[in-house]
Amino acid sequence: MAMAVAQHRVSSSGSSINKHFDAAGKYVRYTAEQVEALERVYAECPKPSSLRRQQLIRECPILSNVDPKQIKVWFQNRRCRDKQRKESSRLQTVNKKLSAMNKLLMEENDRLQKQVSQLVCENGYMKQQLHTTLAEFLSKATGTAVDWVQMPGMKPGPDSVGIFAISQSCRGVAARACGLVSLEPTKV
């Protein structure tokens, strides 16, 4: 069943210059050699001019049967396919890189997180040590009460350490000790 193909302007019949139908009425796909020849040109010039296309047809005996319009269409479709494929693979590679980057960042984050808590711990430990050690010193050495006072610019509470004031009785000794401390807030 079935024959009869729409022909635009075929002179007689045998010359097979039709759309995707052969003279026999069969849907035609380009042969591997034809595609190869077309691909070769496409590789170096994806958008050949009309002249270049005609030249291609002349140069390539495999393509001599093909309508110039078909060549044009082939390049159009080829560009379209290429565009889709390129976009897809581009997105995929970007995705992979982003995922890898993400993983690294999360690991680095973890590492930093641990480092922070470690440092916070050490910090707290040091403060406490300082605190308790000095308090112990004082109480053991003098038996005098110690009043903690807040420093300007420092939050009160257990996490901050203020200097302490000593009852009048031991001030003299403290003064002689001099030296003493200034605290810089280690701005970054």
Contacts to DNA from residues 42-61, by CB under 7 A: 47, 49-50
Cα–Cα distance measured from residue 102 to residue 4, given in angstroms and rounded to the nearest whole number: 60
The binder of a copy of itself chosen from 15, 54, 55, 84 (CB under 8 A) = 84
Contact between 115 and a copy of itself by CB under 8 A: the answer reads yes
> Which residues are registered as beta bridge partners of 148?
164
Work out what residue 40 binds among DNA, a copy of itself, none; the CB cut-off runs from 5 to 8 Å by kind. Answer: none
Q: Does 65 bind DNA (CB under 7 A)?
A: no
The amino acid that residue 99 corresponds to is: S
User: Which listed residue (55, 77, 113, 150) binds DNA by CB under 7 A?
Assistant: 77
CA dist list (Å): 74 to 8, 24, 41, 82: 19, 22, 12, 12
Q: Which of 45, 80, 134, 145 binds a copy of itself (CB under 8 A)?
A: 134
Dihedral pair phi/psi, residue 48, rounded to 5°? -70, 150
- What are the beta bridge partners of residue 165? 147
Residues between 13 and 32 that touch DNA (CB under 7 A): 19-20, 26-30
Residue 164 touches which of DNA, a copy of itself, none (Cβ within 5-8 Å per kind) = a copy of itself
Which residue of 3, 4, 6, 149 would you call a contact of DNA, by CB under 7 A?
6
